[in-house]
Structure 1
Amino acid sequence: MLKQIISIFFLLSFSLISSQNSIDHKYAEFNFWIGEWNVYKHNTDTIVGKSKIEAIIDNKVIKETYHATTSKFKGTSLNKYNPRTNQWEQFWVDNSGLTLHIIGNLNDGKMILENTINLQKNNTLSNKITWQQNEDKTVRQIWSQSKDKGKTWKVIFDGDYKPIVDN
């Protein structure tokens, strides 16, 4: 009987450790975005902002602190994997009054988070933000919006995150 109890204990312990390791792997999926970045308008030399992306709370949350270089615009996001829903979530707030809650997952090397919000008069607005690490370790972020339930999309931000290099 004691051998059976010990065997069950070890099996349960191994199962919990294996389960935690698979969850820990999920928490690391968005780590390619961590760093201090100059943010450029895509495929240009025009810097539009600076962004600091850091892992916080035991590496379970990714915090973004962004500020534009050509205006007083500032914003912050918290990003986390939610094991209950098996999805990533981002909660963004900024000094323009925008609040955005988007959800999604890593697909084919791209983190894709999106939402649809109801506007007045039965209109909707869908947001889709995609982050992809490039071969040179820069990150491209594309934010698109749709007013026709995803039939057509308009890019409202297309940026390249390039590491800040200290001289």
Structure 2
Amino acid sequence: MIKFGIHFLLLLLVITNVSAQKNKDHKYSEFDFWIGEWNVYKHGTDTIVGKSTIEAIIDNKVIKETYHATTSKYHGTSLNKYNPRTDQWEQFWVDNSGLTLHIQGNLMDGKMILQNNISTKKGSLSNKISWQKNADNTVRQIWSQSTDQGKTWKIVFDGDYKPITEN
């Protein structure tokens, strides 16, 4: 009877570990809906504002974005990853304007929502960026900022990512 109990306990541990690993691996794929080659449009218009390449790198554990504006010389790159220690997604964005942005968050109700709150010379600044996959396989990204600890928000970017299709 003791031998059966030990085997049962070992089997239970193996099943629990496999289940936990699958759940952890699933977290790494939550942002995969953003991977692709995209034309980026001002939301609700036919005006292209940029091109973006989103790719999985480092054993599919990291998502790298490379963005180029089409109407200026602006460009930037982000690295996005799930951090199992904090159970949150993180993005680290840098661009040629000198902006550095580090935001964190999670997938909530079908939207990836990452945000931060930083102190500046002028006071507090909060950033919140959300990405949502739409039924037509586009992705909408909205970047909002608040200077009053999130009481009010101003949209600073609202874009539709549409897949680049080869003809």
With the shorter chain as reference, the TM-score category is over 0.9
Give runs of aligned pairs for residues 51-66 of structure 1, distance below 5 A.
51-66=52-67
Q: Residue 145 of structure 1 corresponds to which residue in structure 2? A: 145
Residues 83-107 of structure 1, C-alpha deviation per residue, up to 9 Å, x if partnerless?
1111111111111111100001111
Return 130-139 or 6-15, whichever deviates more.
6-15
Q: Distance in 2 between matches of 1:42 and 1:35?
A: 18
The alignment yields a C-alpha RMSD, in angstroms, of 1.3
2:157 is equivalent to residue 157 of structure 1: yes
Give the letter aligned to residue 111 of structure 1.
M
Q: Distance in 1 between matches of 2:111 and 2:10?
A: 39
Q: Residue 100 of structure 2 corresponds to which residue in structure 1? A: 99
- Residue 145 of structure 1 deviates from its aligned partner by 0.4
Give runs of aligned pairs for residues 34-49 of structure 1, distance below 5 A.
34-49=35-50
- Residue 10 of structure 1 deviates from its aligned partner by 2.5
Q: Distance in 2 between matches of 1:117 and 1:79?
A: 19
Q: Residue 30 of structure 2 corresponds to which residue in structure 1? A: 29
- Residue 9 of structure 1 deviates from its aligned partner by 2.9
SS in 2 for 1:43: coil
Q: Residue 134 of structure 2 corresponds to which residue in structure 1? A: 134
- Residue 8 of structure 1 deviates from its aligned partner by 3.3
Q: Distance in 1 between matches of 2:57 and 2:9?
A: 36
Q: Residue 121 of structure 2 corresponds to which residue in structure 1? A: 120
- Residue 58 of structure 1 deviates from its aligned partner by 1.5
Give the letter aligned to residue 166 of structure 1.
E
TM, length-normalised to structure 2: 0.94
SS in 2 for 1:11: helix
Q: Distance in 2 between matches of 1:165 and 1:117?
A: 39
Q: Distance in 1 between matches of 2:109 and 2:4?
A: 46
What is the total number of aligned residue pairs between the two structures? 166
